[in-house]
A = this chain, B = another copy of it.
Amino acid sequence: MDHHRSGCPINLTLEILGDRWSLIVIRDIMFGNCRYFRELLTKSEEGIASNILAARLKNLVAAGLLGKTDDPSHRQKSIYSLTEPAIQLVPILAHMGAWGRRHAPVSRELSIRAQLLEEGGPKMWDGFMAELRHIHLGQPAPVKSVLAQLQAAYLRVVAEEQAKKTND
């Protein structure tokens, strides 16, 4: 973005993240630990197109929300990582999850993580941000993994829903 509509902080945040896909990409890197182009392309529920994903990654790297480094094991691969500004989006994403859970027709599987994050509150968010700083910025690992808790809860609910289905 070369020209800003205004100096309002909400507006400027919206100029970077106010579209249908940018926060989806960040969500998948953050909660799904997707680090490669192909992972983001295929693991996402919403089915982003490859050209859109390429454009969004470029924008987010340019905006300083994502880092892009070479994968030593595969010369062509790039590893995407969250920068500190992106990690500081955790409270916004947590609130968005909580809002969506209250006011939108969410599915149980995909909202269990938002529920845990809402119940955990800012204290859990801080723990999660510390973990993201470990994964993406190489800082020391926290004792407890929030990501593992979220993933375990997700898998538990998926299994429950699967059991419910087969009982029909």
Q: Which residues of A contact B (CB under 8 A)?
A: 4-16, 18-20, 23-24, 27, 45-47, 64, 85, 88-89, 91-93, 95-107, 109-111, 114
Contact = CB atoms under 8 A, between A and B. Distances in A.
Given A24-B11, A101-B9, A19 B18 contact: yes
Given A85-B103, A105-B4, A97 B9 contact: yes
Number of copies: 2
A92 B103 CA distance: 14
A47 B3 CA distance: 14
Which label, helix, strand, loop or mixed, suits the secondary structure of the A interface?
helix
A151 to B, nearest CB: 15
Contact of A5 (B8, B27, B47): B47
A103 B18 CA distance: 15
A88 to B, nearest CB: 6
Nearest to A118: B9
A123 to B, nearest CB: 13
